């Protein structure tokens, strides 16, 4: 009996020792992987810091106020970034313990400088991420896409990368690229510098702009200068001339200026080819008028309406019809 107990005890002890050895190996492997992750992360952060010093964000010099505003914005952005960085680090540790080394570096590539939302993590390949470091988010993410500020490790410049969710069809992404490229050839949209999306890369990369029309109007207190007004009219007319109907009324966010104050259309996601001569982008001018303290485009729009015999400012037409009806009713009551 003693012999049997001794034998079983022996087996148990040797099993425990081998388990301990296995556990030690696992811990050692994890330490090695963690070290690699830390090294890679430090390198990225060093690159990023260097880049922030050498590549300050470009902002349109519309007024001193806007500069000051954007300075404080970027300060608070930096603060929140460093906050989220430490959050990320602790998140990385917990998540790391559950995954292999390969997965660790894959996730790290995505989140070291900006935590890319989960729904976009399969929309950018590692090859692209090697060449472009994600710095931050630009604007407000839409239903299917997000625009990121990226830094090219090749030419050391910043670009805007528009990334789409998995559900967005490649056909639609290619169509958006097609219209933007056409507009860019005529100087009406930011040039696209990377335009070959596929299943692994649901994105395109373009020149980075400085401000949306909306923020220009905010800093200029709801007004446009004469030069800006003229430029916007030319921009809209020229888009008509190349037969592109922009077709997105959210023009405050879909028109941007570059660092030299030049206006461009962005977001050709709803764009169509103009087939009839009566189709025009002039309606966008009436939308901009509504964003202004005092409308400036109404004369151009009504001239165009007279010329083509087609209503562009639909809201004005409804307003006028209402006024006519009220006048008629008053007349009837007076009788």
Residues interacting with ligand ADP, by CB under 6 A? 138-139, 142, 145, 147, 160, 162, 190, 206, 208-209, 212, 253-254, 266-267, 269
Inter-residue contact 269 to 247 (CB < 8 Å): no
CB of 190 to ligand ADP, least distance (A): 4
Taking the least distance from each CB to Mg ion, the nearer of 195 and 248 is: 248
Query: Helices (DSSP H) in the chain: which residue ranges?
Result: 2-54, 64-96, 101-111, 126-131, 170-185, 213-219, 226-241, 251-254, 283-291, 298-308, 314-334
The torsion angles phi and psi of 263, rounded to 5 degrees, stand at -85, 145
How remote is the C-alpha of 62 from its chain's centroid?
A: 22
Could you give the 3-state DSSP secondary structure of residue 273?
Answer: strand
209 binds, among ligand ADP, Mg ion, none (CB under 5 to 8 A by kind): ligand ADP
Which is nearer to ligand ADP, 209 or 224 (by Cβ)?
209
Window contacting Mg ion (CB under 5 A); options: 52-60, 72-80, 204-212, 248-256: 248-256
Residue 159 near residue 57, CB atoms below 8 Å: no
Report in angstroms how near the CB of residue 133 gets to ligand ADP at its nearest.
Answer: 16
Of 195 and 305, nearer to ligand ADP (C-beta) is 195
64-96 vs 2-54: helix crossing angle, rounded to 10: 170
**Calpha distance 257→211 (Å, rounded):** 5
Closer CB to Mg ion, residue 60 or residue 254? 254
Is the CB of 254 or the CB of 281 nearer to Mg ion?
254
State which residue, 105 or 136, has the beta carbon closest to ligand ADP.
Answer: 136
Q: Closest approach of Cβ 107 to ligand ADP, in Å? A: 25
Nearest approach, Cβ of residue 208 and Mg ion (Å)? 16
The phi, psi pair for 163, rounded to 5°, reads: -115, 140
Residue with the shortest CB distance to ligand ADP: 142
Question: Shortest distance, CB of residue 49 to Mg ion, whole angstroms?
Answer: 32
- The set of long-range contacts for 241-244, using a CB threshold of 8 Å and a minimum separation of 24, is 242/182, 242/183, 242/186, 242/188, 243/273, 243/274, 244/179, 244/182, 244/183, 244/268, 244/271, 244/272, 244/273, 244/274, 244/281
* CB contact at 8 A, 168 and 202: yes
Contact of residue 145 among ligand ADP, Mg ion, none (CB under 5-8 Å per partner type): ligand ADP
70, 158, 215, 254: which one contacts Mg ion (CB under 5 A)? 254
Query: Using the rule CB under 5 A, is 267 a contact of Mg ion?
Result: yes
Provide the minimum distance between the beta carbon of 110 and ligand ADP in the complex, in angstroms, as a whole number. Answer: 19
Stretch that binds Mg ion, among 6-14, 44-52, 82-90, 260-268 (CB under 5 A): 260-268
For the CB of residue 147, give the shortest distance to ligand ADP in the complex, in Å.
Answer: 3
Residue nearest to Mg ion (CB): 267
CA angle 13, 19, 25 (to 5 degrees): 140
Q: CA distances (Å), 18 to each of 21, 31, 251, in order?
A: 5, 20, 68
Which option in Mg ion, ligand ADP, none does residue 281 bind, with CB closer than 5 to 8 A by kind?
none
The contact set with Mg ion (CB under 5 A) reads: 254, 267
């Amino acid at each position: 009996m003693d012999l049997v107990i001794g034998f079983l005890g022996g087996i148990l002890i040797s099993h425990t020792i081998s388990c301990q050895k296995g556990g030690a190996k696992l811990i050692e492997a994890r330490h090695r992987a963690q070290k690699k992750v830390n090294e890679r992360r430090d390198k990225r952060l060093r690159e990023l810091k260097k880049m922030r010093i050498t590549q300050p964000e470009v902002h349109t010099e519309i007024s001193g106020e806007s500069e000051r505003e954007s300075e404080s914005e970027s300060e608070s952005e930096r603060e929140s970034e460093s906050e989220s960085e430490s959050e990320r680090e602790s998140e990385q540790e917990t998540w790391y313990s559950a995954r292999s080394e390969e997965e660790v570096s894959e996730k790290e590539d995505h989140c070291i400088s900006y935590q890319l939302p989960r729904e976009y993590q399969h929309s950018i390949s590692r090859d692209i991420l090697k060449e472009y470091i994600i710095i931050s988010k630009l604007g407000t993410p839409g239903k299917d896409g997000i625009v990121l500020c990226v830094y090219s490790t090749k030419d050391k410049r910043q670009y805007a990368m528009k990334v789409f969710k998995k559900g967005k069809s490649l056909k639609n992404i290619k169509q958006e690229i097609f219209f933007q490229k056409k507009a860019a050839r005529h100087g009406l949209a930011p040039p696209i510098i990377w335009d070959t999306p596929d299943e692994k890369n649901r994105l395109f990369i373009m020149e980075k702009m400085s401000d949306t029309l909306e923020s220009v109007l905010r800093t200029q207190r709801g007004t446009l200068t004469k030069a800006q007004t003229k430029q916007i009219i030319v921009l809209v007319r020229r888009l008509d001339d190349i037969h592109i109907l922009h077709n997105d009324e959210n023009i405050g966010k879909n028109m941007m200026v570059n660092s030299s104050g030049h206006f461009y259309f962005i977001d050709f996601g709803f764009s169509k080819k103009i087939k009839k001569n009566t189709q025009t982008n002039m309606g966008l001018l009436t939308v901009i008028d509504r964003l202004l303290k005092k409308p400036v485009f109404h004369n151009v729009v009504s001239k165009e309406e007279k010329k083509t015999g087609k209503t562009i400012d639909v809201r004005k037409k409804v307003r006028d019809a209402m006024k006519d009806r009220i006048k008629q009713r008053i007349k009837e009551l007076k009788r």
